[in-house]
Amino acid sequence: PGAWAGGSGGAALAGSPVTRSGVGLFWRRIRVLVGCAWLGAGWQKATGPGWLDGGSALAGYWKNAAAIPATGRPAITYDWYHHFIDGLLAGNNQTWFAPLIVAGEIAVGLGLIFGVLTGAAAFFGALMNMSFLLAGSSSTNPILFTLAVGLILALKIGRAHF
């Protein structure tokens, strides 16, 4: 039974390493901070041009990522991912994919901030981070990816909501 006994945890969590050592409070802060980062990114896209009005911002991002420079290395390292991005561009998929990214970023942010479906929110956040990394965009993605994996592992190991 462990942490899940009684539905909400309650006394079953009292002896858990996550609550006993204060690690739960640490991960709660991480969860909220990562959630704020996702919510901010989604909100910026939702209120800015090119994301919810046809996806031109996403198409530009994909074109830059898929560009093969005359000298140097392309942004995308893996051929299979380059073909994937090319296929998305050829199919004009930014029209539906851009709003999906916006909704996903906002949903991940809210899920992490409020602790709703934390594991799923962290997983889909990590999936988006990996997608951005594969497209050659570093930014905060490596840090957010690592923190998302940490959240997933802390949930699994601690068997607690934080």
Alpha-carbon Rg for the chain, nearest whole angstrom, is 19
- What is the C-alpha to C-alpha distance for residues 10 and 3, in angstroms, rounded to an integer? 8
**107 is written with which tokens?**
């949903």
69 and 77 in contact (C-beta within 8 Å)? no
Distances (CA, A) of 123 to 13, 34, 45, 150, 151: 24, 12, 21, 10, 9
Q: What are 73-130's pLDDT values in tens digits?
A: 889 999 999 999 999 999 999 999 999 999 999 999 999 999 999 999 999 999 999 9
**21 band by pLDDT with thresholds 50, 70 and 90:** low
Whether the model pTM is above 0.75: yes
Q: What are 29-87's pLDDT values in tens digits?
A: 999 999 999 999 999 999 999 999 999 999 999 999 999 988 888 899 999 999 999 99
pLDDT at 10 over 90: no
| pLDDT score at 160 | 54
Distances (CA, A) of 46 to 76, 144, 161: 26, 20, 29
Q: What is the DSSP letter of 116?
A: S
